[in-house]
Copies of this chain bind each other. A is one copy, B any other.
Amino acid sequence: MNTEEALRDFLFNGHLFYVPHVSLDCAIFGYHERQLKLLLIKPKVVENWCLPGGYIKRTETLVEAANRNVKERTGIDNLFLQQFKTFGDPDRSKASQFDEEKWFKAVGVRIDRTNWLIDQTISVGFYAITDFSRTSPKADVFTVNCAWFDIDNLPKLDFDHDEMVREALHTMRVQLYHYPIGYNLLPEKFTLAEIHALYETLLGKKLDASNFPKKLIALGLLERLNEKRSIGPHRAPHLYRFNKERYDEALGEGLVLS
């Protein structure tokens, strides 16, 4: 949507190509070396930072729409986005706060209160985790900025996005033991110290270093390899890897813990 013509078509005819009343928002967590961050955008038409999101084309699945929106808003592609909850409290839509002049100033096109974008919207929440050091967030035509924020130092978010982040974080933490979430955040072969740091950071709490991996190993989700990595004189910890097949199997059984 980089020409004014495309923008006008979206604003005035968008309800024909997109499903009206339904949006989606994406909580994208970023991990790197004991740091957990969240990707936020600052749209031109709202006051505060918020989660990247957008609308669903009438020909797309929800997850396809989530990926397209994230790519358009932030420049980041190929995330494994996972649905976590849909948000529909009646007061989450603030049609009453629509400011015609502000819209005009922001995007250069005038819309009024009857526009399809202004009516009540229910939003589907997705989350993803990626290595933030390998991304280069970029703002698009609707946004003035796009950046990573420390999870412990987030600004006040717009709409109901504070609640979305809390719920996304909760779901990610529960699912950490059911899905191989660490998969793309660690090298293929990693040390116990590396997965320990990852889990502590994602869970936001200390884990007993010797007890923590036992359950994962007992369940066959984590495999000890006959390989070591030399990290210094007399220091060569064993390497481990995720057993993806066992994860899929465990998921198929409906649970990992049993």
Contacts and interface: CB of A to CB of B under 8 A. Distances in A.
Contact of A173 (B89, B174, B255): B255
Contacts of A192: none
B120 A58 contact: yes
Count of this chain's copies in the oligomeric assembly: 2
Contacts of A203: 254-255
A89 to B, nearest CB: 5
A62 B123 CA distance: 11
Interface in A107-156: 120, 122, 124
A190 to B, nearest CB: 20
Interface stretch (A16-24, A27-35, A43-51): A16-24
Contact of A21 (B20, B85, B88): B20
Contacts of A124: 86, 88, 122
Contact of A122 (B22, B59, B85): B22
B83 A61 contact: no
Contacts of A207: 258
Interface in A158-204: 169-170, 173-174, 176-178, 203-204
A211 to B, nearest CB: 9
A90 interface: yes
Interface in A198-220: 203-205, 207, 215
Contacts of A204: 254
A41 interface: no
Interface string A223-257: 00000000000000000000000000000011111
A61 B86 contact: no
A255 B177 contact: yes
A16 to B, nearest CB: 11
Contacts of A254: 169-170, 173-174, 203-204
Nearest to A254: B173
A93 to B, nearest CB: 9
